[in-house]
Chains A and B, each alone.
Chain A
């Protein structure tokens, strides 16, 4: 469905209407409602004061606007058909010239005037765009899908000079209500403020907008400071057109969760007034999720708010999520273990019984919370994978049990001479290789163990080796190419995401040039470049079973790929801003994405649907970590807080405060006992995850209302803070024996 320039307006509008039920946000098709005659939910179309008499002329206006548009794009046949069907006289077209007057001339009641043909056209065809080269650049609203967005623009809600009065009126009212309701009703301030300001700007009331902003921006919550700063630079209508995030904010409804009692109070107050512009705005742009029960306290509200689109609706978090782990295949450990031989030097009789896989589930019963083995197709285990698993199990027996009394040792890998160019790091699962992605578009791989990196021999030499020998895997390697590190060239932009495959054969890297590259670690060459995101790709990760990988970027979607398909298999669309972090669930059936719109979404790989939305962070999210048992998710953002989420219930479990700067790395220990977090403030902190989750089990959840009462027990959960010498921590990794590895680049 390409954005066709000057294509079929009708079709496009209809498609947009159809996508409404599926999309998270509503495309508020004000003007098109008149044409399509579809009931617009909630508010009447072109909200404003009484519109009863405005029905017919409004339809006429919109029809004329559409006719003009078609004519302008030389779709003469469509013009004829539409004119015939609509029964419009021929000369009606010419009389409604392009009237570039400001829509909704000040003082006129209602939004009808705001929707006259000229202004509609002026919105659609005005070609000027942002004059400033500052942060956001955008395509002109000539794309077809944008037409509906543009047409759903802000209509005039009464006299612009009175906006200040309306707002302060509401403020006074809310300050006068009972304490228990005040916190909840105060949630209305921010979205109302933003929408009113944008309306003023959109309708070209620059001075009133500035005055409005100056007067009331200081009242807003502190965590909206960054957004308000961006808003303050938006003073003209042209600026708005360039901002994709703001467009999304405008069309998707801001979600508020208010108790029924508070809501009734607000409704009564607003409806009994004569000029209920605020009520109209609320109906148009806000979605109020009403629940029955006690009103929430300020701290409860603060914990959950902060995202660009408000909180999550309750039904967004109701879908069943299979968070259990997949059953491990039963693998028999071989009889002739090398370790056993070393220990049994005296030739003691070895036990000949093969050891059964003790890592797998003991019972044969299916975990009700686990997905079935073939819910999504997964690659079968090769012999080399089975050998890997055996190694894994052997290492697991030597694993140190961590706990509050037994903290892990931390080994820090510092990248010297990177000059702030280190942008991504990854370790293999067995901690034998490190890969670093750099701002000079190279990827470098180092061997952590004394074993050097070797390339596979060329085809000619491979013909000469003895394929039947036992150490054939050693013989295929070319000794002449042995080196400590290898450099991989290919990207044309800084490498922001990097991920090893579980079988250590492949390496993925994602870059600002919009591609994700698959590198072979046998030949150290690039195998495939996956093109799909046309914008910087911020993160990528292989699935825990290999074969699938996920990537997320500036185009606000995350894509699921398989290594043998050149196009993505799934597209996870829904975020309002860049997707900055993508992680697979341990059972590979779900993908979590963190975004600059301060929400975390959990997507189902099978259907592509969003099954969970977690709000609460006050800054873009940069790291996510699933607990090894698959039940919990930890997230870190620029606000310096680590939040813990229960995936099954869809609720926040705990909030870990302590870091003072952006958190870039999070990792659970191998048993899920300890959570390690690394941040730009040059520290690694260890948290008692087991305790945070234990408290959870005994709590009585009010899952119906979704209320959480967070204890402020961060200091108790903090087990240790470890400073590095001015080296921000950008990656953490627990080895199979629970030694913590950290990586960062030295910032002199």
Chain B
């Protein structure tokens, strides 16, 4: 859309080089100038666009200096924050340093903060279900129940009780399995309360976690038969889940 005109680009380039020289930077990779140009362009367009919005909000026909100033200030608070001022830090430090150092409990293994501040909990559950065959040809499939999927993949650590009890992890290659998605407000604890509704809620599933398998997502809304099936399976899930 908006592209720097060739002639304009030349002068802006000179300005960038001059800025680097003025600030005493003599050694830099040539890509740095490109980065500076991109940044400048993006910053200026953002400010001007914001200023246009403020001007229309104030029902002004043209953008004036006050709009620009306001735009700059708002952006400053959002993107370019700076560390807290010194007197604030000194005050906080004074308060923090008053408490004595806590005593160390002996013989307590790895000294880590409470579990909820660690990254050691799994953020998925593995369930393997033995099917009570009601319709022919149904194979027993392990279910991958995706709980609150965080964007931070963690590898299973020693503290994964369900995985341990289920035996060696079942390989999922080439199998068709269904994903039941409990409401997204789940914790990452594996032994949670049973999932309440089978409705699909707005859970952001990272497709890479599930992989390129055939995924049949069961919802209440899809079809009646599917609904009843899913309900049935739900109960089985609950049963199995309780026994785990």
Contact B87 A149 (CB under 8 A): yes
Partner of B102 from A377, A528, A529, A605 at Cβ < 8 Å: A377
Partner of A572, one of B40, B93, B160, B163: B93
Instruction: Tell me whether A101 is interfacial, beta carbon within 8 Å.
Output: no
Residues on B with beta carbons closer than 8 Å to the beta carbon of A505: 110
Q: Is A563 in contact with B111, judged by CB distance below 8 angstroms?
A: yes
User: Which chain B residues border A563 with CB–CB below 8 Å?
Assistant: 111-113
Give the chain B neighbours of A570 by CB distance below 8 A: 93, 96-97, 101
- Residue from A3, A226, A244 within 8 A of B82 (CB atoms): A244
Q: Which of A21-29, A156-164, A172-180 contacts B (4 or more CB under 8 A)?
A: A21-29
The CA-CA distance from A138 to B82 in the complex, in Å, is: 4
Do A458 and B158 form a contact, CB below 8 Å, given A528-B112, A569-B102? Answer: yes
Q: Which residue of A lies closest to B152 (CB)?
A: A490
Q: Is the CB of A458 within 8 A of B156?
A: yes
Could you tell me the distance in whole angstroms from the C-beta of A14 to the nearest C-beta in chain B? 12
**Considering the chains assembled together, what is the distance between the CA atoms of A127 and B104 in angstroms?**
49
Specify the chain B residue showing the minimal Cβ separation from A461.
B168
Decide yes or no whether A456 CB sits under 8 A from chain B.
yes
**Would you give the shortest CB distance from B94 to chain A, in whole angstroms?**
6
Determine which of A523, A565, A571 lies in contact with B158 in the assembled complex, contact meaning CB atoms within 8 Å: A523
A568 within 8 A of B: yes
Residues from chain B with a CB closer than 8 A to the CB of A556 are 83, 86, 89
Roughly how many angstroms separate A527 CA and B110 CA in the complex, as a whole number? 10
Q: Give Cα A607 to B163, complex, Å.
A: 46
Closest CB in chain B relative to A397 CB, distance in Å? 31
Given contacts A139-B77, A146-B85, A244-B83, A19 and B91 within 8 Å (CB-CB): yes
A-chain residues with CB within 8 Å of residue B119 when the two chains form the complex: 490, 525-529
Using Cβ atoms and an 8 Å threshold, which residues of chain A touch B86?
23, 25, 247-248, 251-252, 556, 573, 576
A133→B40 contact, CB < 8 A: yes
A136 cross-chain contacts in B, Cβ below 8 A: 82
B209 at the interface (CB under 8 A from A): no
Chain B residues numbered 95-117 whose CB sits less than 8 Å from any CB in chain A: 95-97, 99, 101-104, 106-107, 110-114, 117
- Collect the chain B residues with CB atoms within 8 Å of residue A376's CB: 101
B157 at the binding interface (Cβ < 8 Å): yes
B6 beta carbon closer than 8 Å to chain A: no
Interface residues in A262-281 (C-beta closer than 8 Å to B): none
Give the Cβ gap from B49 to chain A, nearest Cβ, in Å.
16
Cβ–Cβ < 8 Å partners of B43 in chain A? 133
Q: Which of B82, B86, B96, B160: most chain A Cβ within 10 A? A: B86
B3 at the A interface (CB under 8 A): no
Does B24 make an interface contact (CB < 8 A)?
yes
The answer to whether B70 has its CB under 8 Å from any CB of chain A is: yes
Q: Cβ of B221: which chain A residues have Cβ within 8 Å of it? A: none
Would you call B120 an interface residue if the criterion is a C-beta within 8 Å of the partner chain's C-beta atoms?
A: yes
Q: How far is the CB of A272 from chain B (nearest CB, A)?
A: 37
Is B222 positioned at the interface, with any CB of A under 8 Å from its CB? no
Interface assignment of B69: CB less than 8 Å from any CB of chain A: yes
* Chain A residues closer than 8 Å to B72, beta-carbon distance: 128-129, 131
Residue in B70, B82, B89 with the greatest tally of chain A CB atoms within 10 Å: B82
- Tell which of A232, A242, A566, A574 touches B90, judged by Cβ atoms closer than 8 Å: A574
Question: Could you tell me which residues of chain A, from 427 to 481, have a CB within 8 Å of some CB in chain B?
Answer: 456, 458-460, 462-463
B23 within 8 A of A: yes
Total residues of chain B contacting the partner, CB 8 A: 60
- Residues of B contacting A130 in the complex (Cβ-Cβ under 8 angstroms): 76
B102:A571 contact, CB within 8 angstroms: no
A665, CB-defined interface residue at 8 Å = no
> How far is B86's CA from A146's CA once the two chains are assembled, in angstroms?
10
Interface majority SS (helix, strand, loop, mixed), chain A: loop
- Asked if A140 contacts B73 (CB within 8 A), the reply is yes
CA distance A566 to B116 in the complex (A): 10
Residues of chain B lying within 8 A (CB to CB) of residue A285: none
Q: Check A564/B113 contact, CB under 8 A, given A133-B43, A377-B104.
A: yes
A218 interface residue (CB < 8 Å to B)? no
Let me know if B211 is at the binding interface, CB within 8 A: no
Query: Would you call A389 an interface residue if the criterion is a C-beta within 8 Å of the partner chain's C-beta atoms?
Result: no
Residue of B nearest to A606 (CB): B101
Interface set, chain B 129-179, CB cutoff 8 A to A: 152, 154-160, 163-164, 167-168
Q: Are A557 and B156 in contact (CB under 8 A)?
A: no
In the complex, are the beta carbons of A557 and B89 less than 8 A apart?
yes
Per the bound structure, the CA–CA distance linking A709 and B120 in Å amounts to 56
Whether the pair B102, A565 counts as a contact (CB closer than 8 A) is yes
Provide the residues of chain B in CB contact with A242, threshold 8 Å: 82
- In the assembled complex, which residues on chain B have CB atoms less than 8 Å from the CB atom of A134? 19, 23
Pair B158/A140 contact, Cβ less than 8 Å? no
Given contacts A19-B87, A145-B85, A566-B117, contact A460 B94 (CB under 8 A): no
Rounded to whole angstroms, the CA-CA distance of A505 and B112 in the bound complex is 13
A139 and B120 CA atoms in complex are apart in Å by 36
Contact of B113 with A16 in the complex, beta carbons under 8 Å: no
Q: Within the complex, which residue of B85, B94, B101, B112 is in contact with A569, where a contact is CB–CB below 8 Å?
A: B101
Chain A residues near B159 (CB-CB < 8 A): 459
Given A19-B94, A460-B164, A527-B119, decide whether A137 and B76 contact each other with a Cβ distance below 8 A. yes
Question: What A residues does B163 contact at CB under 8 A?
Answer: 458-460
Which residues on the A side are within 8 Å of B113 (C-beta)? 528, 563-566
Q: Contacts A377-B101, A460-B164, A528-B118: A573 and B89 contacting too (C-beta < 8 A)?
A: yes
Question: Would you call A412 an interface residue if the criterion is a C-beta within 8 Å of the partner chain's C-beta atoms?
Answer: no
Q: How far, in whole Å, are A574 and B82 apart by their CA atoms in the complex?
A: 17
Does A608 reach chain B (CB closer than 8 Å)? yes
Minimum CB–CB distance for A408 against chain B, Å: 33
Residues of A contacting B102 in the complex (Cβ-Cβ under 8 angstroms)? 377, 562, 565, 569
B10 at the interface (CB under 8 A from A): no
Q: Which chain B residues (1-58) contact chain A, with CB distance < 8 Å?
A: 19, 22-24, 39-40, 43
The yes or no answer to A59 lying at the interface (CB within 8 A) is no
- Choose among B23, B24, B82 the residue that contacts A137 (Cβ–Cβ < 8 A): B82
Verify A527–B112 contact, CB threshold 8 A.
Answer: yes
Contact of A226 among B24, B81, B94 (CB under 8 A): B24
- Tell me whether A523 and B96 are in contact in the complex, defined as CB-CB below 8 angstroms, given that A3-B88, A252-B86, A573-B89 are known contacts: no
Query: Beyond the given A139-B77, A226-B24, A535-B83, could you list 6 further A-B residue pairs with CB under 8 A, ordered by the A residue number?
Result: A129-B73, A462-B158, A525-B120, A528-B119, A568-B96, A571-B96
Interface residues of A (CB under 8 A from B): 1, 3, 15-16, 19, 22-25, 27, 127-131, 133-140, 143, 145-146, 148-149, 225-226, 229-230, 232-233, 242, 244, 247-248, 251-252, 376-380, 456, 458-460, 462-463, 490, 505, 518, 520, 523, 525-529, 534-535, 547, 554-557, 562-566, 568-574, 576, 605-609
Chain B residues with CB under 8 Å of chain A are 19, 22-24, 39-40, 43, 69-70, 72-73, 76-77, 79-97, 99, 101-104, 106-107, 110-114, 117-120, 152, 154-160, 163-164, 167-168
29 examples of A-B residue contacts, CB within 8 angstroms? A3-B88, A19-B87, A129-B73, A129-B76, A133-B43, A137-B76, A137-B79, A137-B81, A138-B82, A139-B77, A145-B84, A232-B22, A247-B85, A376-B101, A378-B104, A460-B168, A505-B110, A523-B157, A523-B158, A529-B119, A534-B83, A535-B83, A555-B89, A557-B89, A565-B113, A566-B117, A569-B99, A570-B101, A571-B93
